[in-house]
Amino acid sequence: MSKILKSTALILFLAAVSANLHAGKPEVHALKCEHLVNPLALNTTSPRLSWKIVSDEPGQYQSAYEIIVASSPTLLEPGKADLWNTGKVESSQNILVPYNGKKLTSRMRCWWKVRTWDKNGKASKWSETAFFETGLPEPSNWTAEWMRTTMPFDEYSYPALLFRKEFDVNKEIDHARLYITSLGLYQFYLNGETVGDKLFTPGWTSFQNRILYQAYDITQLLKAGRNAAGIMLGNGWYRAFYPNNRKEADIDHLDVLGQIEIMYTDGTKQIIETGNDWKSSTGPIRKSEIFFGETYDARMEQPGWNSYGFDERKWTATTVANQPKNIITAPDAPPVRRINEIRPAGVIITPEGDTVIDMGQNMVGWCRISVNAPAGTTIRLKHAEVLDKEGNFYTENLRRAAQEISYTCKGGGPETWEPTFTFMGFRYVKVSGYPGEVTPDLLTGIVLHTDLERTGSFSCNSELINQLQHNIIWGQKGNFLDVPTDCPQRDERLGWTGDAQVFAPTASFNMDCAGFYTEWLKDLAADQHDDGAVPHVIPNVLGRGGAHGWADAAVIVPWTVYRYYGDTAILRQQYESMKQWVQYMIGEAGETYLWKPTSRQFGDWLAYATTRSDYPGATTDKDLLASAYFYHSTHLMHQVATILGKTRDAQTYKELMKKIKSAYKDEFITPNGRLASNTQTAYVVALTFGLMPEEMEAGAAKRLADDVNKFGHITTGFLGTADICHVLTKYGYLEEAYMLLYRKDYPSWLYPVTKGATTIWERWDGIKPDGTFQNAGMNSFNHYAYGAIGDWLCRKVAGIDLHPEKPGFKHFIVKPHPFGEMNDVKASHLSPYGEIRSEWSVKDKRMQLKVTIPANTTAEIYVPSTGTGLVVDGKKLSVGGKGLSVDGKERNIYGNSVETLEITNAPGTDYHYLKLTKGSGKYVLEAEFKSDL
């Protein structure tokens, strides 16, 4: 490695020169309430409000704001707002401002808008109007009764249920809402129309502790006179087969609870409730299973069943079910929706003679089928992720998940249909039973996942790495369907905590996950055992837990949400759960302060293994990892307690940290700095978590780099992979980090790409170099854990990085790490404050770095260089004599800022950094770059 230049500081007078998103004064936009856009049902009566600011003026920031909230749009004016008017508040805060107006009650729609003042004291225009609506926070708000059918069923997998009820509307409607939940999955209809576009409602939670409900504005769907409501109910996650815990026979009923509330202009109210006065039947969905698929017989459709005037005399009565109302709560996360449509890439006839449609992308969702066939024709679709070595359809890795769709035609003309209560993980679809020629237009792929706003992007000059980034995104799309699952295809699809915690930083860069993780963490706390142990999967369907690196999600994921979104509420919400998990480890470790677990542990899951005697595998001792995570979670708890002002707890955790670190050193670190497990993961974890004594850090980093060079590749599993390149970069081994990134042979991130992967694999060698498969019992081709490298690509290669002490990107870092053939890097992140961009390229011995800093934020910019001069937006800046020389004249360019330029180290490279701090704006920075990389 080349020498490291010594740090020196120089004074630079540099003005902000930029062209931002909009002309004119700062504008306020992107209003959100509790991370959501215009939410209809809130869990709180003290919601937090956020907005973004855009401006074309450099260095612009918010000096004050004014929020007004009213019960009607007509009152949404200063002096008229009847719920809250903050007046002018001198503050730069524009995210998560708590509502502090008149007390809010259930079912209230609140209209709001905001204006801000800029750094010059000038007021913006008022924002566009947004709203939020409180829901049904108390059990007494639910006047309806849980309802179930009285129809008996002999088999576990019975048809989807239909419910209907007619009612009259005889007055002028002011507004109307539907509040509904179910045990099972529901779809609601009014007058033949599907209500809303949400899918897989009410969602998957810890059903014995929490049941979600949804609210819908149905004002426009009601008609004067006779109306009809319909409900379709499928098994979903409530009555599902789960591995190792087959309790489906214990649940023999699906139940639904809902109420339509109509407010009339005369002030009266009408409520239509579920109960024993509805009718029930079955329809064309003969079976619906999360893992096994759906069977639909179009001949058994009951046309008009969800419209008024339908003959229901053959339908069966309903009855009231005894289910709780005190655990019903509104969701914090966006719903699952149809997100994309994919046209097939082509049709394949396999060597075994199967007709297979290739979607061209490993996806999660289902296919819409468009057919014209005689009545009674049954078309079957089987779904798979890959073809085998010979090109045949391969499903062995699905285990017992059938992933099969069966559609029986009613005949009489073209038919278009798609499933309702199931989803598949697949790229290939085997078609059988279709009487005509199978062409690509038979199917359309419908991509489903939780509707999270896309916030991150990354690209560079390598198509292989761009495909890797594509695979990371699609792995997240496929596994963020209501909960963060490990895989979306086999008979598992569970919310594994270890996978979730290692991927959380990458996920939070790519998409707005604040509400998504907030929701999931509530279930984690709800399912946590009394002794503090955290189950392996959330929601918990596997029983016991308490595994290091997995259960630590209880601490790590809330911390990640706080870091990315600046949300201290998640720390308060989860504090007791976090504390209980650390307390569990304290009990396990005892007075030794070393956790040597006896319960089932996963360790560095799926780490590299080999039978070569000269290059042994990479198994890291589980007690070493367990004690490391004990320290890490304790360290995070010290920081969390400090942030929340819990000084006594903070001191307790600080003292505990010292004891764990001392015990760890005595037990696992030799006097010359070698770890008991001499593996890449062991050194990555020890250096990431701060367990190595300071004087031993450099030696430990060298041991890690030496091991990387010895093997020539990565050997880490789930727990080591996320941070290995971060550690190598930090300690001056950038060459090794890039070597791991660019490697194309097994094991590596690019090896699956060379094999045609379109998502991240569970194993480094899901498809072996000889074309055969890994163990079919555990070989998912859509598994996001190894996609955690995305965090390094965005934060270190592109350089958009969190500040270690300032969360939420209020103040952040832009610090690219160029090396080797990497070039033409472009990345963006839509932070809570606005879009951050970093684009860099090297050409003709010049580094060009383009940076966008959103209004109301500041950033430390590090420009890689081998010189001491900068060109900023065409202005030549250099240091000479006593001060700054700009175009040959010593002066402050615009007379409005004084900033410091420093030369700082870039360990392990032939260049250094020119560091400066800037306010908002768009900047083009150029510097000498003669590094021989």
CA–CA–CA angle 569, 574, 576 (5° rounding): 125
List all residues 6 or more positions away from 651 whose beta carbon is below 8 Å from its beta carbon.
none
The token pair at 791 is 């965090």
Return the closest-CA partner of residue 177 out of 196, 203, 200, 198: 196
Half-sphere exposure of 225 (CA within 13 A, CB side): 4
Q: Is 492 tagged catalytic?
A: yes
Burial class for 74, CB neighbours closer than 10 Å (0-12, 13-18, 19+):
exposed
Edge-to-edge strands, sheet with 109-117: 84-85, 64-70, 109-117, 130-133
d(CA 741, CA 609): 20
User: How many helices (H) and strands (E) are present in the chain, helices listed first?
Assistant: 13, 48
H-only helix segments in 566-690: 569-589, 622-643, 647-668, 680-689
Three-state secondary-structure class, residue 171: coil
Select which of 145, 294, 312, 492 is catalytic.
Answer: 492
- Bond preceding residue 539 cis, omega within 30 of 0: yes
Check residue 620 and report its DSSP letter: P
Question: CA of 726: how far to CAs of 119, 160, 475, 799, 905, in Å?
Answer: 37, 50, 21, 12, 16
Q: Residue 70 in contact with residue 155, Cβ under 8 Å?
A: no
What's the Rg (C-alpha) of the chain? 29
Contact 41, 201 (CB under 8 A): no
Contact 880, 834 (CB under 8 A): no
DSSP state string for 811-848? EEEE-----TT---EEEEEEETTEEEEEEEEEETTEEE
Q: Directed axis angle between helix 622-643 and helix 647-668, to 10°?
A: 160
- The token pair that represents 515 in the structure block: 């509400």
**By three-state DSSP, how is residue 475 classified?**
helix
Chain Cα centroid distance, residue 820: 32
Q: How far is CA 732 from each of CA 349, 737, 905, rounded to the nearest angstrom? A: 52, 10, 10
Q: Is 576 marked active-site?
A: no
Single out the catalytic residue among 66, 588, 736, 762: 762
Q: Which one, of 686, 710, 705, lies nearest residue 697 by Cα?
A: 686
Q: 3-state DSSP call for residue 688?
A: helix
Q: Are 507 and 560 in contact (CB under 8 A)?
A: no
Burial class (CB in 10 A: 0-12, 13-18, 19+), 706: middle
Task: Enumerate residues 6+ apart whose C-beta is below 8 A from 368.
Answer: 416, 417, 418, 443, 444, 446
Bridge partners of 297, per DSSP, are 408
Give the pairing type, strands 211-212 and 328-329: parallel
Rounded to the nearest 5 degrees, what angle is found at the Cα of 241, between the Cα atoms of 237 and 246? Answer: 120
From the list 604, 886, 813, the residue with the least C-alpha distance to 719 is 604
Q: Are 547 and 553 in contact (CB under 8 A)?
A: no
Between β-strands 8-12 and 27-33, what pairing exists: parallel, antiparallel or unpaired?
unpaired
Q: Name the residues annotated as catalytic.
A: 492, 762
